[in-house]
Structure 1
Amino acid sequence: MSSDALVADQTDHPGEPVAVIAAGALPWRVNKDQLEVLLIHRPRYDDWSWPKGKIDAGETIPECAVREVQEEIGLTAQLGIPLPPIHYHVASGLKVVHYWAVQVNGARLVPDGKEVDSVMWCAPDKAASLLSNPSDVVPLEYLGTAHERGELSTWPLVLVRHAKAKPRSSWTKAEGERPLAATGIRQAKAVGRLLQVWRPLRVVSSPWLRCVATVMPYVNASGAKVKLADNLTEHKHARNPKKTAAVVESLFDKQRAVAVCTHRPALPTVMDQLARHMPAQLREILPSSQPYLSPGEMLVCHVAPGAKNRIVAVEQFKPFED
């Protein structure tokens, strides 16, 4: 899911099966108060394009975008707002390329030399004239419009439902100690990989074991700081949903990337609180019925800094399960 402008089907081939899935990014920066984007030159095709590539087995589409940016220009990316995907035909059939905005803050870029032999920073209008594939202009135009609206520079707030736990019916000890099932342990590892796409350095979690176990693979890999919040547990939420909502509201205070992990019964309250920071068109596409999110599933909210802490785009992803 994403903003209303991205909900509409971008393809001119409705109903046609997709033969090739690829992903990439539009790197951008502000230089002397002017927006610039990064084009790559591919010697194999002698063309100007965006960093992108085909999805590998065992990865999600966002993970593919991050990997391709790393491989092609040496940039460890944190994905920003989603941009409109593009569709076109190749020899094997219809190809779709999913794009995200990626902000470059002074990082040194190192083209791989094989797939990419040079890069060029330029203004969006010049980039539009140089792009070899005319459809590549579509995400560029959206990026430029988002910049004009003050909705391009964002930070991610990632809501995670804990991975699959052992059944309640088979657990006789304290509810807070109910662990992940074998499937849930695999899901937690996948959650850890997918969270690397947004690289939150803060994780706020229910202290119950199944939530903590869901986020720990990511925490161990990233060194993110963990805060345990009792009001995110099922019991505390049942007693006082307003305190659960207050935990969610507090996530906006530092205006930095954060992930929050909680339980299915708390999700309606969490969604309602997030919706307070969204325009109507985004509220309408939020999950609105049980189970809201499946075990291990994520809702990614892209927040534009400012007094109103506006959520300007929303996405929903399931981690890839082995």
Structure 2
Amino acid sequence: MKSDSPVSDQTDHPGEPVAITAAGALPWRVNKDNLEVLLIHRPRYDDWSWPKGKLDAGETVPECAVREVEEEIGLTATLGVPLPPIHYHVSAGLKVVHYWAVEVNGSPLRPDGKEVDSVMWCAPEKAASLLSNPSDVDPLNHLVDAHHNKELATWPLVIVRHAKAKPRSSWSKAEGERPLAATGIRQAQAVKRLLQAWRPLRVLSSPWLRCVATIAPYAKAVDAKVKLADALTEHRHGRSPRKTAQVTESLFDKQRAVAVCTHRPALPTVLAQLAVHMNSQLRALLPSSDPYLTPGEIIVCQVAHGSKNKIVSVEQFKPFDD
């Protein structure tokens, strides 16, 4: 899934351009060993649905999903596994809504009262019978399947390519001190906003300036713990790709959300190590040719809890580029 490209429905409406893009989430919890999901009631439409809303100017699809969940039910969400998007026609044309699973761990919910006047926790079967838009059942079915397969409770592992740096040709000092270009400084701010959709509080970075400067605005915003790893630099990777792979493998040790910032030459080694932990269908989603990621672009892997490091989803996003 790439947030920078036009989305068209390849199922019921093949090739038709999307007129409206929206995003939201299916909040879920396990209550007394039973899976429950949260429906919202919108008085304007007198319907039951999931928290969602249209993309604002200057935001990515994941940012939209997090914002809408917070605005409608007062929940500061971190995105879990992606769920199938739904497509349907409105007066403006074809509308796509992208969904993610969002775990609710006892956090208080505060419906905004205007757009959402009530919420309801219920079993998936009841939710399916109450949903006003039949298309909304599709992401629900996927969520239930993920729960049954022990692939719903996850933590995110995020790979970031550093933002655009000043050209090598115009830099005569040490390579590790080459800074971000003006475009890269703006990209770093966009990366800060995008990463907050998953909110990893651990950050591992190459110590070279362009990586540190890419991740610093995000780390400062959320007070993340930053650790520097020489094995993630271009130089060390060139000498010992095996050590870069070992650092990548160590990301799984703590089973907690983490973001990693590195360089283009190191990306094939990093991605190959992640591929060990996923099935062939997910491996096919990984970029396989140079440059792998554009400056500031990210890959988000969701890792199932208690799964011996099994990656269950792969997504790819560019930060908003002005």
The 2-side partners of 1:234 and 1:17 are apart by 40
Structure 2: which 5+ residue stretches go unaligned?
3-7
TM-score (norm 1): 0.97
Q: What does the per-residue CA deviation read over 1:227-254, in whole Å, with 9 as the maximum and x for residues that have no partner?
A: 0000000000000000000100000000
Verify the 8 A CA contact 2:9 2:87 in the aligned structure 1.
no
Give the aligned residue type for 1:79: L
Verify the 8 A CA contact 1:10 1:86 in the aligned structure 2.
no
- 1:55 matched to which residue of 2? 55
- Please identify, of 300-309 and 112-121, the stretch whose mean Cα deviation from structure 2 is larger: 300-309
Q: Write out the 4+ residue segments of structure 1 that deviate beyond 2 Å after TM superposition.
A: 8-11
Q: Give the deviation of 1:321 after TM superposition.
A: 1.7
SS at match of 1:164: coil
Superposition map of 1:9-24 within 5 A: 11-24=11-24
- 1:277 matched to which residue of 2? 277
The 1-side partners of 2:10 and 2:102 are apart by 21
Verify the 8 A CA contact 1:10 1:87 in the aligned structure 2.
no
- 1:237 matched to which residue of 2? 237
Q: Once superposed, what is the RMSD of the aligned Cα atoms? A: 1.1
Superposition map of 1:5-154 within 5 A: 11-154=11-154
Verify the 8 A CA contact 2:9 2:15 in the aligned structure 1.
no
Structure 1: which 5+ residue stretches go unaligned?
3-7
SS at match of 2:261: strand
Matched, 1:212 2:212: yes
The 2-side partners of 1:9 and 1:302 are apart by 24
Matched, 1:295 2:311: no
The 1-side partners of 2:59 and 2:160 are apart by 18
The 1-side partners of 2:41 and 2:257 are apart by 32
Give the aligned residue type for 1:312: V
Give the aligned residue type for 1:41: H
Superposition map of 1:217-232 within 5 A: 217-232=217-232
Give the aligned residue type for 1:241: P
TM-score (norm 2): 0.97
SS at match of 1:246: helix
The 1-side partners of 2:159 and 2:285 are apart by 15
Q: Give the deviation of 1:10 after TM superposition.
A: 5.7
SS at match of 1:17: strand
Q: Give the deviation of 1:285 after TM superposition.
A: 1.7
Matched, 1:177 2:202: no
- 1:186 matched to which residue of 2? 186
The 2-side partners of 1:229 and 1:124 are apart by 44
Give the aligned residue type for 1:47: D
- 1:321 matched to which residue of 2? 321
